[in-house]
Chain A
Amino acid sequence: MSAIDIKKVKTSNFSGMIPFSFRKLGDTYIVVNEYGNYVFLTEEEFVSLVENGPSALSRPVVKELTAQNMLFTKETAARAAERLRARFADAARATNLHIIVPTLRCNLRCVYCQAAAMSGDNYETDMNTDTARAVVETIFDAPTKLLSIEFQGGEPLLNWDTVKFIIEYAIELNKTKKRELRFNIVSNHLLMDDEKLDFLLEHNVVMCMSLDGPAFVHDKNRGITHDRAVEMYKKVYRRYKEAGAERLPSLIGTLSKHSMPYHKEIVDEYRSLNAGSIFMRPATTLGYAGRNWEEIGLTPEEFLDFYERMLDYIIELNLKGERFTETYAIYALCKIVAGFEPGYVDMKSPCGASIGQLAYNYNGDVYTCDEGRMLGHQGDHTFRVGKCGESSFADLIMHRATKACSIASTLDTTPGCSECAYRPYCGICPVLNYHETGELSPNVFTTRRHAVNEGIIDIIFKRLMIPEVGDIFVQWTKNYMESSSREIEGAKETEEGKAVKE
């Protein structure tokens, strides 16, 4: 039990302080202001702060609180405002991530498939050229300079003609629209051939391949495909490197119960492919994963146990001089260490639904996000915000589902989140909440996402208390921010966009 005497805690103790919250980890209190600055205090210091106000603290503590923008002065107010502005800047920009599903067909049958992909002969779930044209035109309706088009599936390469058409048509339209256009494709690479590779390379399409680890993990989740996928990835990687591509192919993985004992082996597999970083996300309850949940699903505790082991192994590698990073940690560290919004839509407030990303289904239906689209595939179209060729960008953004998601994912007004010390770093997903509980805004303490996010941030803060690990974390953050700076520049609004708003 804490030694705080609540009778001594007066509101006037905080009248000269920047609003803050706190969380106790072990014997240390993490005090976090609303804008993400933090300070570690001992229990004695914390009790003194809340019972007597900052003026009763020792000079070094006051110095520390000042350095961390905890006391209200002209300078700290400026810094707090700067952080707040950075945090919400994304929400004021038009959508720049556009996820297209050129087909629901897939050549794999992964045990956790959230996309609920169809078998290879369901050609009716292929996007046709007319729909593809309407999708591209809807995307260009978004008044933002940066337009990032990402192909997902199904397996996008199964509808190669449409992928090719979309890229070519977008480039054609861009001759007059003058946007900063980027293309990404998430694929299992199994259908990659020289013709496709030449085209993708020529058009600077960034490649991302799904890889869950070494063969004995990957194949258990995704069928016997590991060796072929790795062979293709190596080929793609080599070609991109030889061509001097600005962004090299990357890998992304999903965790299932089968993966649990193999944190080292999974990281080592990524290292052997020169990946440089790893991003392993837990399977969600959407799609086929929900049906196989008992067999493959992870509890938040299981995921966090894996995550902690994996992160510590990566830290160990870094301490030995190897540069290898973990992506969840980077996203959180950007906010914790630097007050920088990395734009990861799953850990944002409000979340990225419609305002950060839009998902375009094969038939032209537009959803708030890919999760919303997946739910649509299960027959629930709550998160469908329009249809390409019929809806304007304004229609999509003004749709009630967009508004509902923005409201439901704004932590500042969410009970349980609004008081949380981790609010400046966190995010919730109304679509998953709705799927798991039937409510957009359930009691957050009952949700998986809450347990996972809180656990990840706890793990990161515990390691930030270790000086040599803090060093590594700051280096990761700096490198990430440097590589992202151009994207942020590109995300600024166009004159056209401003005019549309006016």
Chain B
Amino acid sequence: MPKMPMEIVFDPKIFSADAILGACHKFLAKCFITLEHSEDGKRIIARLKAREGVSVEGLEDEFRAETLNYAVKQKISKGSAKIRDQIFHIVFNPERLNALGGQLQTELETKADPDSVKLSARLEKLLEEIESEESMDYEEDPLGIAVPWEEKHGMPGDLLHPVDQLKRQAENNLINIETVKEIVDC
């Protein structure tokens, strides 16, 4: 049985205070939590005391995993923040879309840090290959992307049938259907 309160120590250079706070927020329903710096100020110490009726088994692992999840989610959010902004621009002003790949791309690159927005050369090449394989002429809008779904009176243009999605993933050995079936006893 783990000793209470359990102490979990984080290196703030690796796990930001926000990531630790995010995990704490989620765990407040299960534990009483205190946070403080170590004496040398180089570590953050989380002390967890399980609430009544909450199993302490695996609590530390769960808390560490949740902190890691928050840390990853923060990096994703930060890394893709400029794209989020651009999509909001497009929602309110569809004309913005036409600037993508041209003026807007340049604008983004000059405003952003050097890594931002630009896909890596390898990824761009891959996408080009996939595009040419599928003979997609986006200028002609063969998928009807620019047509709002309300006007189509049917399924939206971006609908991908989950079965097709699964089949394609299975064909490409991305998922193991048998494993998936084991997860769901249905």
Contacts and interface: CB of A to CB of B under 8 A. Distances in A.
A294 interface: no
Helix, strand, loop or mixed for chain A's interface? helix
Choose among B97, B129, B160, B161 the residue with the greatest number of A CB atoms under 10 Å from its CB: B160
Contact of A416 (B25, B165, B181): B25
A434 interface: no
A410 interface: no
A148 to B, nearest CB: 18
B174 A466 contact: no
Contacts of B116: 12, 15
Given A6-B71, A50-B72, A445-B28, A74 B155 contact: no
Interface string A451-476: 00000000000111111111101100
A475 to B, nearest CB: 10
A474 B161 contact: yes
Contacts of A85: 91, 148
Contacts, number: 254
A337 B118 CA distance: 29
A340 B120 CA distance: 32
Nearest to B93: A81
A441 B88 CA distance: 25
Interface string A1-19: 1101011011111111111
Contacts of A83: 156, 158
Given A339-B158, A466-B181, A19 B80 contact: yes
Contact-size category for A: 35 or more
Interface in B68-94: 68-73, 75-84, 86-88, 90-91, 94
Contact of A482 (B80, B84, B154): B154
Nearest to B120: A55
Nearest to B101: A74
A478 interface: yes
Given A315-B186, A463-B186, A470-B166, A19 B68 contact: no
A223 interface: no
B56 to A, nearest CB: 17
Interface string A30-69: 0000110101111001000010011100111111101111
A288 interface: no
A183 to B, nearest CB: 25
Contact-size category for B: 35 or more
Contacts of B166: 40, 465, 467, 470
A17 B15 contact: no
B54 interface: no
B130 A419 contact: no
Given A13-B79, A75-B138, A489 B158 contact: no
Interface in B154-179: 154-163, 165-169, 172-177, 179
B65 interface: yes
Nearest to B166: A467
A489 B148 CA distance: 12
A268 interface: no
B158 A82 contact: yes
Given A9-B72, A60-B173, A462-B184, 7 more contacts: A15-B117, A19-B80, A55-B122, A67-B165, A82-B157, A416-B26, A468-B163
19 contacts: A14-B79, A41-B174, A42-B175, A42-B176, A60-B173, A60-B174, A64-B168, A67-B165, A68-B160, A85-B91, A86-B149, A339-B156, A443-B28, A445-B29, A465-B175, A465-B180, A466-B181, A482-B154, A485-B153
What are the nearest 3 A-B pairs in CB distance?
A14-B79, A60-B172, A12-B115
